[in-house]
Amino acid sequence: MRAHYIGWKDLRIRLRDRNTLVLMLLLPVALTAIIGFAFGGDSGISTVEFLVAGTEEDDLISQAAAGLGSGSEMFQAEPATESAAREAVAAGEKPAAVILPEDLTETVIEGRRAEVVVLSDPASRIKSGIVRELAERFVARLNAGSILSRGVFETLAEERGLSEAEQRRLGGFLFGWARDALEEPRLTVEQRQAERQEIDVRAYFAPSFAVMFLLFTMLTSAKTIHEEREAGTYSRLMTAPVARTTFVGGKLLGSYLLASIQILLLVLLSSLLFGIRWGSSPIAVVAMSLATAAGASSLALLIASLTRTSRQTDNVGTAFVLIMSLLGGSMWPIEQAPEGFRSAARFTFNYWAHSGFKELVFNDAGLAGIWQELVVILGMSAVAFVLAATLLVRR
């Protein structure tokens, strides 16, 4: 009996099992869709609604609210009393409120010290952080205008001495002039982000989840080695003229074929359902997919070879996959992790597989752009395969 008979039979059994298909395809696609729902599309983050309170007249508070909101539709600032603002933030109805000091206008013109207080809901750290940022920008503008106009006023007063009429005239003029002059500053900072297409979270997470669930599927496939023994089918098979190497080879072949089908189907499905473009080089996509399939099937087989029962393979394997997925960035953007963490990630299979697919999706890298990832993954596959085959044949 040749190995490919065993491999083909395994593949047919797995593909007929609806539960395998759920794990292989439905779950990664569903999670990618959920992430796309959360962070993708045009709707983005919901509006940042906050309150502005103070003792100024209502129209001044409204003006301050408009100034704080920067005229953007993303921010919705409403005037309120301080007690109402406190109540709303404490109850978690609003993420934050800005409390302006008494006599804000006088304070700024005369340069008196005062505090703008941002009340924040600790359960809403991101939105309250945004409101704090808005308040700081608003205050920075007022401070710059105040310092400039007072600087000019004080210097002129020192130069010539100012009559009361001159003081009034100058005071009325200076603050408006400073505000207008600072509207169009001479020195600006122009920000430029790295030239890359806008990050589509689904394009980022589709390969992550594909790799993670590929490993899970491979585990269920690899543990059939133990299940065959536990169910007695292995003993029956050994009564036929089948070498152990043929059995192990067949198992690996079945796993590899299943892995290849899974990863290629996920690439296809994510293109059709989410419009993800996997780069312009189909050869590179297929090469990356087949290498990833080889890595995942070999690693799963290695776990099966190191464990003694199907239950052990399940437990040890699932822990292994989850830890590698956590460390390797299959569950969150590893780019945001501290440096030491990113270095540790390079020891995981998930990191290299995800890195290769990311290069294809975001940088349109061809084969030449992913050679490093291919070498590392194929190296891992070879080591895992040799170890697994040796252990399984010996057992």
Partner 1 sequence: MRSVLSITWLNMRLLAADRSAFFWLLGMPVAFTFVFGIAFSGGGGGDVDPDEIRYALTVADLDPGPLSDELLERIEETDEIDLLMLEGPDAGEEARRLVDEGERSSALVIPPDFSARLASGERVALLFHRNPDRTNPQATRRTLDRIVARLNVEALAAEGATEAYSLLWGDPTPGTVRRLSVGVEQFVRESWETPPLTVSVERLGRSEPSDVPAMGFQHSSPAIALMYVLLNGLMFSIMLVEERRFRTLNRLFTAPVRRASVITANFLWRFVVAMFQASVLVVIGALVFGVDWGGSPGGLVAVFAAFGAAVSGLSVLLGSVARTTRQAQSAALVLALSMSALGGLWWPLEITPRAYQIAGHVVPTGWAMDAMHALVSRGHGLPEVLPEVWTLLAFAAAFSVAATLAFRSE
Binding residues among 323-382 for partner 1 as defined by CB under 8 A: 323, 326-327, 332-333, 335-338, 341
Residues 232-271 that bind partner 1 (CB under 8 A): none
Q: Which of 50, 89, 63, 214 is nearest to 142 (CA)?
A: 63
**125 touches partner 1 by CB under 8 A:** yes
State the Cα–Cα distance between residues 144 and 137, nearest whole angstrom: 11
Tokens of 223: 């543990």
Q: Are 330 and 296 in contact (CB under 8 A)?
A: no
User: Residues 116, 242, 378, 387: which binds partner 1 (CB under 8 A)?
Assistant: 116
Looking at beta carbons only, is 185 or 241 nearer to partner 1? 185
Cβ contacts of residue 56 below 8 Å, gap of 6+? 64, 100, 103, 104, 105
Q: Between β-strands 75-80 and 48-53, what pairing exists: parallel, antiparallel or unpaired?
A: parallel
> Residue for token digits 């001159």?
166
Binding letters toward partner 1, positions 60-89, x by CB under 8 A? --------------------------x--x
Looking at beta carbons only, is 179 or 277 nearer to partner 1? 179
CA distance to 90, 210, 211, per residue, from 264 (Å): 51, 10, 11
User: Residues 16, 191, 239, 272: which binds partner 1 (CB under 8 A)?
Assistant: 191
Burial grade of 60 (CB within 10 A; 0-12, 13-18, 19 or more): middle
Q: Measured from the CB of residue 286, what is the shortest distance to partner 1 in angstroms?
A: 27
User: Residues 1, 30, 382, 386: which binds partner 1 (CB under 8 A)?
Assistant: 30
User: Residues 58, 71, 193, 239: which binds partner 1 (CB under 8 A)?
Assistant: 193
**174 touches partner 1 by CB under 8 A:** yes
Q: Are 298 and 356 in contact (CB under 8 A)?
A: no
Looking at beta carbons only, is 5 or 341 nearer to partner 1? 341
State the Cα–Cα distance between residues 300 and 258, nearest whole angstrom: 13
User: Residues 6, 11, 53, 119: which binds partner 1 (CB under 8 A)?
Assistant: 119
Looking at beta carbons only, is 341 or 347 nearer to partner 1? 341
Candidate ranges 53-61, 290-298, 320-328, 370-378; the one touching partner 1 (CB under 8 A): 320-328
Candidate ranges 67-75, 170-178, 297-305, 379-387; the one touching partner 1 (CB under 8 A): 170-178
CA distance to 42, 298, 303, 307, per residue, from 318 (Å): 36, 15, 10, 13
Looking at beta carbons only, is 166 or 386 nearer to partner 1? 166
Residues 196-225 that bind partner 1 (CB under 8 A): 196, 199, 220
Q: Measured from the CB of residue 193, what is the shortest distance to partner 1 in angstroms?
A: 5
The DSSP code for 101 is: P
Candidate ranges 4-12, 138-146, 284-292, 381-389; the one touching partner 1 (CB under 8 A): 138-146
State the Cα–Cα distance between residues 58 and 284, nearest whole angstrom: 63
Residues 33-52 that bind partner 1 (CB under 8 A): 34-35, 37-39, 41, 43-46
Looking at beta carbons only, is 113 or 394 nearer to partner 1? 113
Tokens of 120: 């924040």
Size of the site for partner 1 (CB under 8 A): 105
State the Cα–Cα distance between residues 261 and 214, nearest whole angstrom: 10
Burial grade of 391 (CB within 10 A; 0-12, 13-18, 19 or more): middle
Length of the chain in terms of residues written: 395
What are the backbone dihedrals phi and psi of residue 51, each rounded to the nearest 5 degrees, phi first? -110, 150
Looking at beta carbons only, is 277 or 314 nearer to partner 1? 314
Q: Give every strand in the sheet of 96-99, ordered side by side.
A: 75-80, 48-53, 96-99
**9 touches partner 1 by CB under 8 A:** no
**159 touches partner 1 by CB under 8 A:** yes
Q: Measured from the CB of residue 127, what is the shortest distance to partner 1 in angstroms?
A: 5
User: Residues 12, 17, 308, 375: which binds partner 1 (CB under 8 A)?
Assistant: 17
